[in-house]
Amino acid sequence: MADAAALRSRNAAFWTGAAAGWIRHADRQDEIGRPLGAPAMDRLAARPAERILDVGCGCGGTTAELAAAVGETGAAVGVDITEAMVTAARQRFPTDRYPGIRFRAADIDTLDVVPGAPFDAAFSRMTLMLLADPVAGCTTIRRSLRPGGRLAATVFRDGSVNPWMFAPMLGAAPYLGSLPPLPVGDEPGPFSFADPARLARVLTVAGFTAVTITPCDVTMNAPDDADAVAEWLIEVGPAGAAYRAAPLTEQASARAGAVRLLDRFREPGAGYRLPAGLWLITAVAARTDKPSAVARPPAIHHRQPREDDNR
Ligand SMILES: C[S@@+](CC[C@H](N)C(=O)[O-])C[C@H]1O[C@@H](n2cnc3c(N)ncnc32)[C@H](O)[C@@H]1O
């Protein structure tokens, strides 16, 4: 496994390269990708006047959702390592339409606290498993919360419950230049938190208590537009930068390759049904900086949450 500094610079370089694709598909990502964050958004239940942190906010869609929930008297602060995405987020969701919204470009792993702290709650969609140093990043999140502040986040489980994710990369790769290195061991990547025990350890060491980790199966519904769906999934995945650098003929072949492998997820005339297996994480910032003696042990669940779990 690469050392922390190498992972951090690899992470920053990857997201800088990926930014153009994420910006280009930001609306599609917000709409089709909404189920990936919805369980955590529901569980967080942001209230008017609260101050909420959105970690790895990308192009800002979830931060805007949080800003709408907390209203004019609250605050929603999106943090993302990728300057270009933060710029796009500011353009998409300006403060004259979203009064409490702010975006900051920063590496959550290396901040002491997020400017604007303390927050009442933190949200994160599909980012924690990508942090180069997840203990450091989650410690920043915990320090940025007021004691007792709550965290709700989603991450992917493993590849077997997210089969669609391999299709765009495997289909496109033969036509593209070199791709980023595949993660090994605990290196950041979509499935680095496949093991819930590791995830629980990271959150506990970072100073969270009342940790719950619950499987959640959702479906992303994409329109029946094979070329557009293939391009979106290639561009927001590991092959995105290589795809954009490729000549148009190679891009077309890459899309055709992805379309072929995505076909098993297509219902003709209805669209694509992309099943995603998530961990829904909830936790509370400990009231002391030395939580281990008082922390409640993490609860790793083996069934999906029910509607009445919130009551
Ligand atoms: C998979 S994307 C998810 C973006 C957004 N949450 C969404 O669901 O559309 C992961 C995001 O995390 C950001 N990211 C990765 N490492 C980060 C770090 N160390 N600090 C802050 N943001 C980071 C990336 O720039 C990227 O926008």
Flag whether 293 is in a domain: no
Flag whether 29 is in a domain: yes
Flag whether 22 is in a domain: yes
Q: How far is the CA of 80 from the centre of ligand 1 (A)?
A: 6
Structure pTM?
0.93
> Going by CA atoms, what residue is nearest to atom 18 of ligand 1?
107
Q: Which domain holds residue 246?
A: 4-287
- Binned at pLDDT 50, 70 and 90, residue 302 comes out as confident
CATH of the domain at 191: 3.40.50.150
- Binned at pLDDT 50, 70 and 90, residue 309 comes out as low
Question: Ligand 1: which of 104, 107, 127 to mutate, judged by most atoms within 8 Å of the beta carbon?
Answer: 127
Contact 171, 259 (CB under 8 A): yes
> Per mean pLDDT, which range of 117-126, 192-201, 291-300 is the poorest?
291-300
**Pairwise CA distance, residues 42 & 117, whole Å:** 23
**Pairwise CA distance, residues 199 & 112, whole Å:** 21
Flag whether 152 is in a domain: yes
Flag whether 309 is in a domain: no
Ligand 1 neighbourhood includes 29 CB (under 6 angstroms): yes
Give the pLDDT of residue 182.
86
- 3-state DSSP assignment of residue 76: strand
Flag whether 255 is in a domain: yes
Please give the mean pLDDT across all residues of the chain: 93
Flag whether 306 is in a domain: no
Q: How far is the CA of 61 from the centre of ligand 1 (A)?
A: 12
Give the pLDDT of residue 2.
72
Give the pLDDT of residue 25.
96
Contact 135, 16 (CB under 8 A): no
Count Cβ neighbours within 10 Å for each residue of 81-120 and write b for 16 or more, e otherwise. bbebbbebbbebbeeeebebbbbbbebbbebebbeebebb
Residue 190 has phi, psi (to 5 degrees) of -60, -30
Averaged pLDDT, 167-172: 95
Token digits for 220? 């992303």
Ligand 1 neighbourhood includes 82 CB (under 6 angstroms): yes
Give the pLDDT of residue 121.
98
Question: Ligand 1: which of 32, 130, 187 to mutate, judged by most atoms within 8 Å of the beta carbon?
Answer: 130
Question: How many domains does the structure of the chain reveal?
Answer: 1
- Binned at pLDDT 50, 70 and 90, residue 290 comes out as low
Using alpha carbons, list the distances in angstroms from residue 49 to 12, 37, 79, 120, 152.
33, 22, 19, 10, 18
Residue 266 DSSP code: E
Is it the case that residue 298 has pLDDT exceeding 90? Answer: no
Using alpha carbons, list the distances in angstroms from residue 19 to 23, 44, 79, 97.
6, 27, 15, 24
Ligand 1 atom at minimum distance from 54 CA:
6
**Pairwise CA distance, residues 311 & 308, whole Å:** 6
Count Cβ neighbours within 10 Å for each residue of 136-149 and write b for 16 or more, e otherwise. bbbbbbbbbbeeeb
For 109-148, the pLDDT digits (tens) are: 999 999 999 999 999 999 999 999 999 999 999 999 999 9
Is it the case that residue 163 has pLDDT exceeding 60? Answer: yes
For 19-51, the pLDDT digits (tens) are: 999 999 999 999 999 999 999 999 999 999 999
Flag whether 216 is in a domain: yes
Give the pLDDT of residue 185.
86
Ligand 1 neighbourhood includes 109 CB (under 6 angstroms): yes
* Residue 186 amino acid letter: D
